[in-house]
Amino acid sequence: MTKQNSNEAISFSEPLSSLFSDKSSEISSLTVELQKEFIINHRGCFVTLAHSILETEDYKNAYELLSKLHELDIPEATYLMSMMHLNDDVIEQDIDLAVDMLIELADSGYEPAIELLEGE
């Protein structure tokens, strides 16, 4: 067995590559689901990353990350997004959206949102 140069592309025989191409949509769907599961299982790391990005004042990238986490129903991300919508220095202010997000979080039992809405 000869060692392949890492700069060389691996080639497959025609039948093997057709085996993969027939399954590409299934593999793609599985990959997306595995990515979602990974993010959910490591959500604390991703929220910490969002905090770090916010500290660098890279609000656009922080918001993009938080939006993806929000889509996965990660409450910490939704809360941070609502705070961004309340602060017009960060992104375009949208108080109605921020309040809606906070109410949804409070209804689901997210304590920081409950405390904020109750004024504690």
pLDDT of residue 1: 47
Placement of tokens 């060389």 in the chain: 8
Placement of tokens 């039948």 in the chain: 15
10-residue mean pLDDT profile of the chain (120 residues): values are: 48 49 66 89 94 92 93 95 86 92 96 91
Tokens of 32: 């997306």
Rounded distance between C-alpha atoms, residue 41 and residue 33, angstroms: 12
How far is CA 93 from each of CA 8, 55, 73, 110, 112, rounded to the nearest angstrom? 51, 19, 22, 23, 20
pLDDT of residue 69: 94
The CB density around residue 3, as the number of other CB atoms within 10 Å, is 5
pLDDT of residue 23: 60
Name the DSSP class of 81.
H
pLDDT of residue 32: 83
The domain spans of the chain are 15-118
